Amino acid sequence: MTLRTSALVAGVLGLVLLVVGLIADSRRPDADVVASHRIDTPVAVLAPEIVGYEPLRRIAVEGDGEIVAHTARTADAEAWLATREATEITGLVTWEEVGVRAYVAPAPAVEPSPSPSPSASPEPSPAPSPSPSPEAEGEPEEPVDTSSTDHWRTTWHGQGRLAVFASAIPAGETFVIHTVNGGPLGTLELYAERDPNDAWITPLIVWGAILLIVGVVGLLYTLIDLRPWQRKGEEWLSRRSAKGEPKEGSRRARRLAGAQLPEVPLDPAPADAVPADPATAAPATTDQIPQADQKGGEK
């Protein structure tokens, strides 16, 4: 495989890598995502583990009227939520979908009572009497929070929209959002940050581009007839080599003169020399060996 062929192969490979890299780059997932969910209850609650959820950056609610968010000790939030209809945020099902479920207050610890009271009331309880409700439809809903606020540790207010950074919520505290007018909360958004595994895309594009350049260079060598330029170059070299006689005493002159070649005397071999063919030769005597050595040393 010639260098040019290798370059062409690299170019094709680079083109494929570049295309893959560019497509992947165009579909590169965003690091910041927003998952939203419509909350139909007046209250939403995020437990401490959700508030401390690693990808979560911000919690926002968009609804009607005044929206209030609080933090509280979990025990206090549970007690407050026990008499309210609420939606519990359980995290992110996918990066675009918020996990929710109806909030269920934890059952209180039951202490065994040694004296169960089996007494039934002997008095008949008054029969429930249906009474027409004087309230007309469409009347403003009853505000959710008319009770004490002593247990709320931190409070945020918003009109129509409320956004709270997760980092602003103290660790270990429960986060509660509710409307003041008691209506549905609205759209809850969780702003999250994820870590897409896209570190390979940029190197892929870079290496694809490099290989593609190599291939393009190889392709150019294939498409363009370079023989005229090659011939011109050879002629230039030959002209340069035939230009004038070398200077006397120069290395080139000495090389052309062969002065550096040693003179080697080519004496005829002596009559009693050892034959070249060992098979036909008589065994050498001991006094012949120094002669041969001696001749070799004269060279």
* Binding residues for another protein (CB under 8 A): 19-20, 23-24, 27-29, 47-50, 52-55, 73-76, 79-80, 90-95, 147-151, 153, 170-173, 192, 194-198, 201
Kindly state the smallest distance separating residue 237's Cβ from another protein, in Å.
47
Kindly state the smallest distance separating residue 103's Cβ from another protein, in Å.
15
Nearest one of 95, 15, 81, 74 to 44, comparing CA atoms: 81
Cβ closest to another protein, residue 46 vs residue 164: 46
Cβ closest to another protein, residue 23 vs residue 281: 23
Cβ closest to another protein, residue 154 vs residue 288: 154
Nearest one of 20, 54, 58, 18 to 36, comparing CA atoms: 58
Take residue 209 and report the two structure tokens written for it.
Answer: 């581009």
Kindly state the smallest distance separating residue 132's Cβ from another protein, in Å.
29
Q: CA dist 208 to 8, 10, 99, 107, Å?
A: 13, 9, 41, 62
* Alpha-helix runs per DSSP H in 116-184: none
Kindly state the smallest distance separating residue 70's Cβ from another protein, in Å.
12
| Conformation bin of residue 205: beta by default, left when phi > 0, alpha when psi is -120 to 50 | alpha
Kindly state the smallest distance separating residue 105's Cβ from another protein, in Å.
12
Cβ-Cβ contacts under 8 Å for 227 (sequence gap 6 or more): none
Cβ closest to another protein, residue 197 vs residue 294: 197
Cβ closest to another protein, residue 78 vs residue 217: 78
Cβ closest to another protein, residue 19 vs residue 217: 19
Cβ closest to another protein, residue 7 vs residue 92: 92
Kindly state the smallest distance separating residue 99's Cβ from another protein, in Å.
9
Spell out the long-range contacts of 135-144 with Cβ–Cβ below 8 A and sequence spacing 24 or more.
140/181, 141/42, 141/181, 141/182, 141/183, 142/182, 143/180, 143/181, 143/182, 144/42, 144/43, 144/84, 144/178, 144/179, 144/180, 144/182
Kindly state the smallest distance separating residue 57's Cβ from another protein, in Å.
13
- Using CA atoms, how far apart are residues 235 and 202, in angstroms rounded to an integer? 47
- Using CA atoms, how far apart are residues 73 and 173, in angstroms rounded to an integer? 5
